C-alpha cells in the first residue's frame, strides 16, 4: 500500500530518531556541525538500505517494529562521515547529491560513523528537511573563534553573501579540530530558505603548519643565536683589555636572552677564595648593587656557579630561596633587590675558575635549554678571552713600566731654547717610539727621536738599548756621524737581523742655533720659519741602523724664531693614508697653524696631533718633539738649572712637555 509524501517524510524522520536513540541512549536534537564526507554509496532498494543498517549494527525492524513498507524509495545514499562530522552537515551534503540525481523524488539518507553508530534521517528533497537550529552550531566553536565567526555569519545572513570561515570545533571527546567551511545561500522566491555548503577537516594540515611554524621559529632563533655567537667571537678576537672582553660578553648575553642586568666577577689573584666584582649594571645606590668583593663561601648566584662548575638557573625568588635554604641566610634575597630571576655561569679555563658571569631579570623568567646552551658557549669563549686579556694587560703593564723608566721624566731647560715633547700610544699597546734630549759637556744640546719597529716588550727593550747607547756614545763623541756609526755596531751585535730601527739625531748650540744633524732612516724634521711656508728637511736620510752604509752628518741651523719638529710615522701614516700623502698633509696643516700656536711649542704639538689624527683611526704610536729658538723674551731669561717636567698625556701614555 502506498504512502503519501508527508507519511514517507514522517516515516524516515522517525527512523532517524529511533536509531539515534538506539545508538546513543538519548534523544538527539539535530544541530549544525562541521566535518568531512569520506565516501558516498548509492542505495536503490529497501534491501540495500537494510544491509547498510545491519552493517552498522542496527536492525530497522527492531528499531521500528511497526514500520510500513519502504517501497516508495526511489533513491537513497549511504554517506560515510569523517570523525567529528555532525549529522546535519553530512545530511546537507547528501541532500545536495540526492537532488542532483532525483530532483523532486522522495529520498532517504543513511549516515554512518565508525564511532557514533548508524543514523538514518528521512527527508523529502527540497521540502522542509529536519534542518538545524539557526545558531546552535556556534556553541561548538572554540571560544577564541566564536565571536569572529558569529559576526561573519550574521553579516552573511544579513547580506546574503557566501560564508567562508576557518575555525575550531569541539568534538565529543572535548578536543578541538580545525575546519574550513564554505556555505552558499539557497534562495527561492527571493528569500533564503536554506544554506548549503561543505566543511573540510584541515586539522592535520593546520597541525603540520603549526609544526612548520614552530620549527621555523626555532631554526630562526637558533640561527640568530649562532649569528650572535659568531659576532661575539669576532668582537672578542679584537678585544684586548679585560674591560673590553667583559663589555662584549655582557652586551651580547643580555641582548640574546633579554636580561635586564648583568655582572662579572673574577677570582682575586692573590686570594683564590674571594671574588672581585669587575662590572655590575646595577646603579651604585640601587638595591641590587653587588659588593665590591665577596668570599666564595658567601651564598650567591655567581659563587654557586663557581662551586658547581656549571651554569645555575633560578627562575623565581622562591627557587633561589629553596636552593640556599640550608644556608639560612635571611639577607641573601635582600641583596638582589627587585630582581626576580637569575642565571649564573662559571668562567673557567684549563679546569680552574677564573670568575663568574651573572644575568638577572626584574620579572620571573624561564631560561630555555637553547638559551642555556648559548650562554654556556658564550661563557666558554669569554673565559678564554679574559685569560688572554689578563696576560696581555700584565705584559703591557710590564712594558709600560719599562718604557716609563726609559723615556725622560724631564726635559732639560736650556736658556735660549724651548723644548716640548709628547708620546701618545695606540690603544694600550706599547711600542718602540722614543725621544731624548740632554746637555753635552760643552754646553750644547743633543736631541734625538727614534722608532724601534714592533710592539710589546721586545720593542720597548730594544728602544731602551738604543737610547742608552746613544747617550753613552754622544758623551764620548757627540758628532752625529760618529754616534750613528757606533749605534750600527751595537745594533749588529745585539739586535735581530729583521729588526728595523730608525733615529734622527742632532746637536744644536743654544747660543747661535747652529749645529749638525744625522738621520738613520727616520722621517725628515718639519721646519717652520717666520714669514715662510713650512717645509721638510730636504737632506736625504740614511739607512736604518744596522744596515751597512757610511754614516754622514750635515749642517743644521735653527735661527731665532725658527722651530724644528721631530716626529714618528704614527703622526703621518695609517691604514688609510700613505706616508707621502701624510707628509704632504703635515706640511699643509702646519701652514694653517695660527702664529700664536706656532709660537708656543706645547700648543703647536697639540695642534699638529689633533689635526693629523682627525678623521683617522690611530693605529700606531705617535711621538712628537718640538725644538724652538724663540725670539728674545723682554722679561729676561729664566734662571739656569730649571727643568721642564713631563706632563701627563691622554690614554695610558705620558705627554712630555
Query: In sequence order, what DSSP letters do the residues of 526-540 get, joined into one string?
Result: EEE-TTS--EE--SP
Q: What is the pTM of this model?
A: 0.49
Q: Higher model confidence: residue 61 or residue 522?
A: 522
Answer yes or no: is pLDDT of 362 > 60.
yes
Q: What is the pLDDT of residue 201?
A: 83
Q: Are 167 and 113 in the same domain?
A: yes
What mean pLDDT is reported for the chain?
A: 74
Q: What is the pLDDT of residue 48?
A: 54
**pLDDT tens-digit map of 69-102:** 333 334 444 444 444 444 444 554 444 444 444 3
Per the domain annotation, does 478 fall within a domain? yes
Answer yes or no: is pLDDT of 572 > 90.
yes
Q: How many domains does the chain have?
A: 3
Per the domain annotation, does 369 fall within a domain? yes
Q: Are 256 and 107 in the same domain?
A: no
Using 50, 70 and 90 to split pLDDT, how confident is the model at 47? low
Using 50, 70 and 90 to split pLDDT, how confident is the model at 36? very low
* Half-sphere exposure (Cβ direction) of 141: Cα atoms closer than 13 Å: 20
Q: Which of 151, 170, 201 is the last residue of a domain?
A: 201
Q: Which of 352, 368, 397 is the last residue of a domain?
A: 397
What are the backbone dihedrals phi and psi of residue 268, each rounded to the nearest 5 degrees, phi first?
A: -65, 130
For a pLDDT cut of 90, what percent of the chain falls above it? 24
Question: Domain of 125: which CATH number?
Answer: 3.30.450.20
Q: Higher model confidence: residue 637 or residue 307?
A: 307
Q: What is the pLDDT of residue 642?
A: 43
Q: What is the pLDDT of residue 553?
A: 94
Q: What is the pLDDT of residue 646?
A: 47
Q: Higher model confidence: residue 95 or residue 63?
A: 95
Q: What is the mean pLDDT of residues 1-19?
A: 44
Q: Which of 175, 201, 227 is the last residue of a domain?
A: 201
Q: Give me the domain span that covers residue 352.
A: 214-397
Q: What is the pLDDT of residue 332?
A: 54
Q: What residues form DSSP beta bridges with 361?
A: 341
Q: Are 453 and 600 in the same domain?
A: yes
Answer yes or no: is pLDDT of 420 > 80.
yes
Among the ranges given (421-430, 477-486, 515-524), the one the predictor scored with the smallest mean pLDDT: 421-430
Q: What is the pLDDT of residue 1?
A: 38
Q: Please give the order of strands across the beta sheet that includes 37-43.
A: 37-43, 75-81, 106-113, 117-124
What are the backbone dihedrals phi and psi of residue 543, each rounded to the nearest 5 degrees, phi first?
A: -80, 160
Among the ranges given (276-285, 447-456, 500-509), the one the predictor scored with the smallest mean pLDDT: 276-285
- Report the alpha-carbon distance of residue 241 to residue 386 in Å, rounded: 8
Contact call for residues 60 and 115 (beta carbons, < 8 A):
no
Q: Crossing angle of helices 456-476/480-494, nearest 10°?
A: 140
Answer yes or no: is pLDDT of 132 > 70.
no
650: cell is 691622554
Q: Whose CA is closest to 354, among 305, 419, 394?
A: 305
Question: Domain of 367: which CATH number?
Answer: 3.30.450.40
Per the domain annotation, does 421 fall within a domain? yes
Q: Are 352 and 438 in the same domain?
A: no
Q: What is the mean pLDDT of residues 583-597?
A: 94
Q: What is the pLDDT of residue 494?
A: 77
Per the domain annotation, does 264 fall within a domain? yes
Among the ranges given (81-85, 101-105, 196-200, 552-556), the one the predictor scored with the smallest mean pLDDT: 101-105
Q: What is the mean pLDDT of residues 141-152?
A: 90
598: cell is 706656532
Using 50, 70 and 90 to split pLDDT, how confident is the model at 42? very low
Q: Are 495 and 616 in the same domain?
A: yes
What are the backbone dihedrals phi and psi of residue 442, each rounded to the nearest 5 degrees, phi first?
A: -85, 5
Q: Are 131 and 238 in the same domain?
A: no
Highest mean pLDDT among 93-102, 165-174, 330-339: 165-174
Q: Are 260 and 344 in the same domain?
A: yes
Positive/negative CA dihedral, 332, 333, 336, 337: negative
- Report the alpha-carbon distance of residue 466 to residue 81 in Å, rounded: 98
Q: Are 186 and 157 in the same domain?
A: yes
Beta carbons within 8 Å of 484's beta carbon, 6+ residues apart: 503, 505, 518, 520, 542, 545, 551
Answer yes or no: is pLDDT of 602 > 80.
yes
Amino acid at each position: 500500500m502506498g504512502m503519501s509524501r508527508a507519511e514517507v517524510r514522517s516515516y524516515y524522520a522517525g527512523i532517524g530518531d529511533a536509531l539515534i536513540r538506539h545508538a546513543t541512549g538519548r534523544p538527539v536534537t539535530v544541530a549544525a556541525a562541521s566535518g568531512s564526507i569520506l565516501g558516498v554509496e548509492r542505495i536503490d532498494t529497501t534491501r540495500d538500505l537494510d544491509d547498510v543498517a545491519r552493517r552498522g549494527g542496527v536492525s530497522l525492524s527492531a528499531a521500528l517494529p511497526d514500520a510500513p513498507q519502504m517501497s516508495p524509495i526511489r533513491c537513497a545514499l549511504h554517506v560515510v562521515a569523517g570523525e567529528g562530522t555532525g549529522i546535519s552537515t553530512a545530511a546537507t551534503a547528501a541532500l545536495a547529491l540526492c537532488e542532483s540525481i532525483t530532483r523532486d523524488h522522495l529520498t532517504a539518507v543513511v549516515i554512518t560513523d565508525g564511532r557514533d553508530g548508524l543514523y538514518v534521517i528521512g527527508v523529502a528533497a527540497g521540502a522542509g528537511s529536519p534542518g538545524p537550529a539557526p545558531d546552535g552550531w556556534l556553541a561548538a566553536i572554540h571560544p577564541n573563534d566564536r565571536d569572529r565567526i558569529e559576526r561573519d555569519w550574521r553579516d552573511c545572513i544579513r547580506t546574503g553573501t557566501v560564508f567562508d570561515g576557518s575555525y575550531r570545533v569541539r568534538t565529543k571527546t572535548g578536543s578541538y579540530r580545525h575546519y574550513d567551511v564554505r556555505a552558499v545561500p539557497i534562495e527561492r522566491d527571493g528569500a533564503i530558505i536554506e544554506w548549503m555548503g561543505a566543511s573540510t577537516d584541515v586539522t592535520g594540515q593546520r597541525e603540520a603548519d603549526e609544526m612548520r611554524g614552530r620549527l621555523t621559529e626555532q631554526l630562526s632563533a637558533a640561527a640568530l643565536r649562532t649569528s650572535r655567537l659568531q659576532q661575539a667571537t669576532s668582537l672578542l678576537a679584537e678585544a684586548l683589555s679585560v674591560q673590553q672582553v667583559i663589555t662584549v660578553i655582557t652586551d651580547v648575553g643580555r641582548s640574546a636572552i633579554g636580561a635586564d642586568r648583568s655582572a662579572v666577577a673574577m677570582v682575586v689573584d692573590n686570594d683564590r677564595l674571594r671574588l672581585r666584582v669587575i662590572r655590575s649594571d646595577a646603579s651604585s645606590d640601587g638595591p641590587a648593587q653587588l659588593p665590591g668583593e665577596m668570599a666564595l663561601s658567601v651564598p650567591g648566584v655567581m659563587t654557586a656557579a663557581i662551586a658547581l662548575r656549571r651554569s645555575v638557573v633560578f627562575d623565581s625568588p622562591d627557587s633561589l630561596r629553596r636552593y640556599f635554604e640550608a644556608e639560612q641566610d635571611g639577607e641573601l634575597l635582600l641583596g638582589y633587590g627587585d630582581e626576580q630571576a637569575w642565571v649564573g655561569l662559571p668562567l673557567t679555563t684549563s679546569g680552574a675558575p677564573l670568575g663568574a658571569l651573572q644575568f638577572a631579570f626584574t620579572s620571573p623568567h624561564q631560561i630555555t635549554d637553547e638559551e642555556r646552551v648559548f650562554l654556556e658557549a658564550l661563557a666558554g669563549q669569554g673565559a678564554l678571552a679574559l685569560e688572554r686579556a689578563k696576560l696581555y694587560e700584565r705584559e703591557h703593564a710590564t712594558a709600560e713600566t719599562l718604557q716609563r723608566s726609559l723615556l725622560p721624566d724631564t726635559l732639560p731647560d736650556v736658556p735660549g731654547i724651548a723644548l716640548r715633547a709628547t708620546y701618545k700610544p695606540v690603544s694600550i699597546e706599547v711600542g718602540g717610539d722614543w725621544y731624548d734630549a740632554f746637555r753635552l759637556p760643552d754646553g750644547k744640546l743633543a736631541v734625538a727621536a727614534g722608532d724601534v719597529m714592533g710592539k710589546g716588550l721586545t720593542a720597548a727593550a730594544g728602544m731602551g738599548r738604543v737610547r742608552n747607547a746613544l747617550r753613552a756614545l754622544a758623551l764620548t763623541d757627540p758628532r752625529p756621524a760618529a754616534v750613528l756609526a757606533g749605534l750600527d755596531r751595537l745594533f749588529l751585535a745585539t739586535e735581530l737581523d729583521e729588526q728595523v730601527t730608525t733615529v734622527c739625531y742632532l746637536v744644536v748650540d743654544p747660543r747661535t742655533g747652529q749645529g749638525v744633524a744625522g738621520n738613520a732612516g727616520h722621517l725628515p724634521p718639519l721646519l717652520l720659519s717666520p714669514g715662510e711656508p713650512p717645509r721638510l728637511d730636504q737632506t736625504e736620510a740614511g739607512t736604518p741602523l744596522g744596515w751597512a752604509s757610511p754614516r754622514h752628518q750635515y749642517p743644521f741651523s735653527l735661527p731665532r724664531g725658527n722651530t724644528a719638529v721631530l716626529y714618528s710615522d704614527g703622526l703621518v701614516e695609517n691604514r688609510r693614508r700613505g706616508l707621502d700623502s701624510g707628509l704632504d698633509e703635515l706640511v699643509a696643516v702646519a701652514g694653517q697653524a695660527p702664529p700664536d700656536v706656532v709660537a708656543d711649542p706645547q700648543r703647536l704639538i697639540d695642534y699638529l696631533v689633533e689635526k693629523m689624527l682627525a678623521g683617522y683611526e690611530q693605529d700606531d704610536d705617535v711621538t712628537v718633539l718640538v725644538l724652538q729658538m724663540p725670539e728674545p723674551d723682554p722679561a729676561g731669561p729664566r734662571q739656569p738649572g730649571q727643568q721642564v717636567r713631563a706632563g701627563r698625556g691622554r690614554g695610558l701614555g705620558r705627554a712630555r712637555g
